Amino acid sequence: MVTPSRKQREIQEREAQILKLARPILLREGYQPLSMDRLATLMEYAKGTLYNHFPNKEEIVLALAIESMELRLKMFEAASIASRVPRERLLAIGAACELYTQSCADHFAIEDWIRNSTIWNKSSTARQDLIRQCEGRCMSIVSGIVRDAVAHGDLKLENDLTAEEMIFGFWAINYGSQVLAATSPSLVSLGVPNAPRAIRHHCFTLLNGFGWQPMGDFADHIKAMDRFGDLLRKQFADQLTNR
Amino acid sequence: MVTPSRKQREIQEREAQILKLARPILLREGYQPLSMDRLATLMEYAKGTLYNHFPNKEEIVLALAIESMELRLKMFEAASIASRVPRERLLAIGAACELYTQSCADHFAIEDWIRNSTIWNKSSTARQDLIRQCEGRCMSIVSGIVRDAVAHGDLKLENDLTAEEMIFGFWAINYGSQVLAATSPSLVSLGVPNAPRAIRHHCFTLLNGFGWQPMGDFADHIKAMDRFGDLLRKQFADQLTNR
Amino acid sequence: MVTPSRKQREIQEREAQILKLARPILLREGYQPLSMDRLATLMEYAKGTLYNHFPNKEEIVLALAIESMELRLKMFEAASIASRVPRERLLAIGAACELYTQSCADHFAIEDWIRNSTIWNKSSTARQDLIRQCEGRCMSIVSGIVRDAVAHGDLKLENDLTAEEMIFGFWAINYGSQVLAATSPSLVSLGVPNAPRAIRHHCFTLLNGFGWQPMGDFADHIKAMDRFGDLLRKQFADQLTNR
Amino acid sequence: MVTPSRKQREIQEREAQILKLARPILLREGYQPLSMDRLATLMEYAKGTLYNHFPNKEEIVLALAIESMELRLKMFEAASIASRVPRERLLAIGAACELYTQSCADHFAIEDWIRNSTIWNKSSTARQDLIRQCEGRCMSIVSGIVRDAVAHGDLKLENDLTAEEMIFGFWAINYGSQVLAATSPSLVSLGVPNAPRAIRHHCFTLLNGFGWQPMGDFADHIKAMDRFGDLLRKQFADQLTNR
DNA sequence: CATGAATGAGCCTTCATTCAT
DNA sequence: TATGAATGAAGGCTCATTCAT
């Protein structure tokens, strides 16, 4: 019973190794340059061995995305219990987003590939389901905080806005700014040298605009986010490989 | 002087024709299915002729993006003079964004391709500069409105926020929500059935959060945006092929 | 002595199981889709185990053919004793051929694979010999009937024709028509809607042409063949899976 | 106008060259060993060039078959006018079959490949139609001779046999014997050293069995077939590459 | 014996790019 | 300048066979 488990462990490890080698190629060079041939050469294994792990190239991409989304989910879970005050819990989620997109920039960028329909459609439903689950659980965590705030009387949702729609706004502004920052040819020359701070300010303005209690000033907001950021950074220190 | 100008005109026209044929393929089928062979066959010209116009495939993609960004720039210019009230001018820009992403969805999607590093790096600096110029001019128009509002006393920028940084927030939330709406496998099932309305609400909340005068209620906000949308729709009727 | 014989029995059974699984794949899908991987999965044994039974893929095909040819041999043996009148015994062989090609169409089609030189050359001489033996015994049975007829004075072989050469004619016409009927894209549209009846008629004409006694008319010929067909169908009922 | 025609001629020639190289591989080694890679190497052209001529491997096989069937059709046409006596015209067709299968054995064997459904289904309908046409015209020529004989009173078709069904018998016996002779592992050891002569004898017996006038003896039959064989051999001398 | 992961040559096909005409 | 045949590297994938366990 010892021998098979060792072999299985080796196989598991190789699967991780494949993903580890594939990630930077997909990120830095794109989908086409990520070829099975090249991967096999880097692995110093035969091409066929790759296909014992993943039935096709697309599944590798999805597996990468799943790894990334699971990390983000863990960060969200950790953030969601970082305080008892709903507004602060949302700030902690914001800090998790920042940490994820900045210090796990690779993971963040990988997630984008599942939005490619060609890749999505060629992959197995098993992996597709995993991804949908991750997304759903992230959303649940955050919308749960909103509902909690409403229940505590910290926040009133007006104009028929649902908790999920409110979250969607924060999601969009964070996601959009990160993509733009990562890919816009010239954000700095456009007059936006410090995009993350700008986004923090917008989130702060939004929260106050919604009347979410307790409202502090922007300095408090920044201080809180930095604190939560440090907290998460410690918890996930071993996974923050970038930068 | 007559002959060469005719020839130049012919070349210009053929260039436009190439782009016209390439656009739907890139959009509907992706980068790989857009092949020089196929383009040449559709053009009823030889493949070599294509290479007289564009030194490689990537430049075609960039040229497409430039066409698209120029259309957006025109829309921004039109929107920026749709009112004399700064807040309304910004709303008009927002309406332009909505119109562009929804009714010129093809153009919006094309812009994404320049974010692909493989394509960007293989293209000429000449075309790269054109793109950067377009982006800069868009930003100038919008940040100009913000500065105008500050000058008129409608808005105070606090916490050292610059006009460009403020605009970046609106840009991010609009861009982010559009990409998410276009590509997320399950936005509806996540509890966000009407993303555009949610985004409008967030922009409304943001503007009020910044204290930008004159503040109306959300119904006024919506009414104004619809009005500007109709205005622009008429002006650009011949370019709104989608929907 | 008990243990090894049980083991041997198990091995025999597994060998039969392999062939049982391989046959429909080879028939319905061809040589390439018959892969060792697939066979092993269906068997629920490891691929290596397959190689303990058959040294390569080609041998499996030959083993299949041998199974089929042995069934045919049995049918020929049964047919050859279905009457005491030589001409009728030959008719019974004809009926056996019809039954084999029509109601054991799978077996008939399998035999064709050994005519593929790639497969033949890669297989062991042991299995090649088995096939040659089968063929030889079939031929002996039928040529024996001819010689019997000559001995009884029912038939005179003229022009130096040997019994085997005479049989070869019947073999060729039956085999040829079956292959053509099975594979010609357009036999019906060529004006041959009922190939089996045409072949019966040609055999009838041939027998009469040779002056083989006793000569009846075509209706008698058909009646006799149907009778022998029914007889064999009963004897081999459990092996006639098709139709 | 001279240059393009030269180029076109070169292309035509290369197409013929491809087929010339492909034929022996398909024949001697089978379908799988005939690979585009190998063909390109033998051609000393790049693989892509092959694909400028044939859109896929299957089309090469069909093109080979068409070449072969066209040769046979020409032989049939020549044979069908070699005499004015219907029975002799049929003998001439028989001689054409012999010549084709023996001296153009490669062509004969190639035709078999179109019976492979995988290949047939992957090929273009254009080439499929060509093949069907060839088959139909061959059948027309021969069944025309039968009908001519009936019209002249040389032959009576009894038992509801149609001209096409009668021809089918001759087709089957000739085709069957040729396939068996070409592929049976041991025809000689089975006691059939001179298969062609046996087939001639059977055809002779069949013709007489049908009462087709004028009936000579077997020696006459052989003499006539040899005469027609020589005639055709001269006419098609440059195409009889084998043996 | 049974296992099944590893192998790696080989398959068919695509396509951006070149260059002689 | 226009042409389009030729190129040939590269791509994703398959599968018979081996061999350490």
Here the tokens at position C82 are 């279905």
Q: Give the least confident one: A51-65, B17-31, B81-95, C201-215.
A: B17-31
pLDDT tens per residue across span B121-134: 888 888 889 999 99
- Give the other-Cβ count within 10 Å of A81's Cβ: 10
Separation in Å, CA of D176 to nearest CA in chain C: 4
| Reported confidence tier of residue D184, pLDDT bands at 50, 70, 90 | low
Sign, CA torsion A92/A97/A102/A108: positive
A196 Cβ under 8 Å from any chain B Cβ: no
Nearest to B140 by CA among C52, A191, C241, C201: A191
- Residue C238 per-residue DSSP state: G
Residue C185 predicted with pLDDT over 70: no
The two three-digit tokens of residue D201, written as one number: 């004898």
Give the pLDDT mean for D57-62.
92
pLDDT value of position D2: 47
Predicted confidence at residue C242, as pLDDT, reads 52
C-alpha–C-alpha distance, residues C94 and C142, integer Å: 10
- The spacing between the Cα labelled CA in B226 and the C1' in E18, in angstroms, equals 54
Pick out residues 224-243 of chain D having their CB under 7 A from any atom of nucleic acid strand E: none
CA dist C177 and B175 (Å) reads 71
Distances (CA, A) of B75 to B96, C228, D142: 6, 89, 77
Phi, psi of D183 (to 5 degrees): -125, -15
Token pair belonging to A24 = 């930077």
CA dist D82 and D234 (Å) reads 13
Looking at chain D, the whole-number percentage of residues with pLDDT higher than 70 is 95
Q: Which of B118, B180, B198 sits opposite A30 (nearest CB)?
A: B118
DSSP B216: -
H/E segment holding residue B64: helix B57-80
- The pLDDT assigned to A1 comes to 42
Instruction: Give the bases of strand F that a protein CB approaches within 7 Å.
Output: 1-21
φ, ψ dihedrals at C17, nearest 5°:
-65, -40
CB contact under 8 A, A180 and B171: yes
pLDDT digits (tens, 9 = 90+) for D66-97: 999 999 999 999 999 999 999 999 999 999 99
The distance (Å) linking the CA of A37 with the C1' of F13 is: 11
Backbone angles phi, psi at D239, to 5 degrees: -105, -5
Q: How many Cβ pairs closer than 8 A exist between chain C and D?
A: 165
CB C152 within 8 A of CB C131: no
Structural contact between residues B19 and B68, judged by C-beta atoms closer than 8 angstroms: no
Q: Which residues of A touch B186 (CB under 8 A)?
A: 132, 135-136
Taking contacts as CB-CB distances below 8 angstroms, the residues of chain C near D156 are none
Average pLDDT, chain D: 88
Asked whether residue D185 carries a pLDDT value surpassing 70, the answer given is no
Tell me how far apart the alpha carbons of residues C233 and C226 are, in angstroms, rounded to a whole number: 10
**Cβ contacts of A231 within 8 Å, gap of 6 or more:** A82, A92, A95
CA distance D194 to C160: 11
Residues 49-88 of chain A: which lie with beta carbon within 7 Å of strand E? 49, 51-52
Tell me the C-alpha distance between C220 and C200, whole Å. 12
Q: In which region does residue D211 sit, left (phi positive, over 0), alpha (psi from -120 to 50) or beta (all else)?
A: left
pLDDT value at position A102? 80
**Residue C165 and residue D191: Cβ atoms within 8 Å?**
yes
Residues of C87-124 as b/e, b for ≥16 C-beta within 10 angstroms? bbbbbbbbbbbbbbbbbbbbbbbbbbbbbbeebbeebe
Percent of chain C with pLDDT over 70: 95
Rounded Cα distance, D235 and D27, in Å: 25
- CA-nearest residue of chain C to D113? C183
Residues D108-161: tens digit of each pLDDT? 788 878 877 788 888 888 899 999 899 889 989 999 999 999 999 999 998 889
Q: What is the pLDDT of residue A50?
A: 93
Tokens of A112: 């984008």
Which of B148, B183, B153 has its CA nearest to residue B167?
A: B148
| Inter-chain CB proximity A164 and B192 less than 8 Å | yes
Residues 124 through 183 of chain C touching chain D, CB cutoff 8 Å = 128, 131-132, 135-136, 139, 143, 158-159, 161-166, 168-169, 171-177, 179-180, 183
pLDDT digits (tens, 9 = 90+) for A63-78: 999 999 999 999 999 9
Q: Which of residues 93-152 of D touch strand E (CB under 7 A)?
A: 122
Chain C residues with CB inside 8 Å of D143's CB? Answer: 191
Helix (H), strand (E), coil (C) string for A42-78: HHCCCHHHHHHHCCCHHHHHHHHHHHHHHHHHHHHHH
Which DSSP category does C98 fall into? H
User: Which nucleotides on strand E sit less than 7 A from a protein beta carbon?
Assistant: 1-21
Q: What is the sign, positive or negative, of the torsion defined by CA atoms of D194, D196, D197, D202?
A: positive
Does B155 score more than 60 pLDDT? yes
pLDDT in tens, C90-141: 999 999 999 998 888 788 888 878 877 778 888 888 898 999 899 889 989 9
- pLDDT score of D220 more than 90: yes
Contact B131 A210 (CB under 8 A): no
Which residue would you say has higher pLDDT here, C217 or B110?
A: C217
Q: Which chains does chain D touch, 3 or more C-beta pairs < 8 A?
A: C
**C212 near C157, Cβ under 8 Å?**
no
How many other CB atoms sit within 10 Å of the CB of residue C143? 20
Average pLDDT over chain C, rounded to an integer:
88
Q: Given CB atoms, is B192 within the 8 Å cutoff of chain A?
A: yes
Phi, psi at residue B213, to the nearest 5°?
A: -85, 155
Which chain C residues are Cβ-neighbours of D184 within 8 angstroms? 115, 135
Q: Judge if the upstream peptide bond of residue C214 is cis by omega within 30 degrees of 0.
A: yes
Helix pair angle (C125-152, C86-103), 10° resolution:
150
What are residue D131's phi and psi, to 5 degrees?
Answer: -65, -45
Find chains touching chain C: ≥3 CB pairs under 8 Å. D
Res C182 pLDDT > 80: no
Q: How far apart are CA D96 and CA C187, in angstroms?
A: 21
Alpha-carbon distance of C106 to D116, in angstroms, equals 16
The pair of structure tokens assigned to D168 is: 């089918």
Q: Is B30's CB less than 7 Å from nucleic acid strand E?
A: no
Mean pLDDT along residues C41-60? 91
Instruction: Spell out a b/e string for A41-77, using b for 16 or more CB atoms within 10 Å of the CB, else e.
Output: eebebeeeebeebbeebbbbbbbbbbebbbbbbebbe
pLDDT, tens digit, 9 for 90 and up, residues B86-98 = 999 999 999 999 9
Percentage of chain D exceeding pLDDT 90: 53
Residues of chain B with Cβ-Cβ distance to A163 below 8 Å are 191
Q: What is the DSSP string of A153-197?
A: TS----TT--HHHHHHHHHHHHHHHHHHHHH-TTTTTTT-S-HHH
Exposure pattern of B71-100 as b/e (b: 16+ CB <10 Å)? bbbebbebbbebbebbbbbbbbbbbbbbbb
Do residues B153 and A221 make contact, with C-beta atoms less than 8 angstroms apart? no
Query: According to the per-residue pLDDT averaged within each range, which of B8-17, D106-115, D201-210 is highest?
Result: D201-210
Residue A101 has pLDDT above 90, yes or no: no
Select from 3.30.70.660, 1.20.1600.10, 2.40.50.140, 1.10.357.10 the CATH code of B55-239.
1.10.357.10
Q: In the numeric block, which tokens belong to residue A44?
A: 């110093």
Residue B243's pLDDT band, with cuts at 50, 70 and 90, is very low
Residues 44-83 of B with CB under 8 A from A: none
CB atoms C162 and D120 under 8 Å: no
State the nearest Cα–Cα gap between B1 and chain A, in angstroms: 39
The pLDDT, as a whole number, for residue D157 is 92
- Cross-chain Cβ contact A191/B165 below 8 Å: yes
Residues in chain B within 8 Å Cβ distance of A132: 185-186
The stretch A110-132 carries a mean pLDDT of 86
Mean pLDDT, rounded, for A177-201:
83
What is the reported pLDDT for C193?
Answer: 85
Neighbouring C-alpha atoms within 13 Å toward the C-beta of D229: 16
Q: What angle do CA A128, A17, A43 make, to 5 degrees?
A: 115
Across the range C37-63, mean pLDDT stands at 91
Model confidence pLDDT, tens digit, residues C130-139: 998 998 899 8
- What's the pTM? 0.79
Is the pLDDT at C235 greater than 50? The verdict is yes
Highest mean pLDDT among A132-146, B13-27, B32-46, C83-97: C83-97
Q: Is the pLDDT score of A228 beyond 60?
A: yes
Mean pLDDT of chain B: 88
Confidence band of D1 (pLDDT split at 50, 70, 90): very low
Contact present, B207 and B192 (Cβ < 8 Å) = no
Contact D32 C118 (CB under 8 A): yes
pLDDT at C4: 56
A10 burial via Cβ count (<10 Å: 0-12, 13-18, 19+): exposed
Distance B7 CA to E19 C1' (A): 24
Distance CA B232, CA B125 (A): 33
Q: CA dist A148 to A68, C7, C222, Å?
A: 28, 70, 90
> Burial letters for B138-160: b for 16+ Cβ neighbours within 10 Å, e otherwise?
bbbbbbebbbbbbeeebbebeee
Q: Contacts of residue B195 in chain A, CB cutoff 8 Å?
A: 165, 168
- Determine whether the distance from the CB of C47 to the nearest atom of strand E is below 7 Å: yes
More confident residue, A116 or C77: C77
- Return the nearest residue to E14, CA–C1': D48
CB contact at 8 A, A235 and A78: yes
Nearest to B168 among A163, A186, A192 (CB): A192
Whole-angstrom Cα distance, residue C59 to residue C63?
6
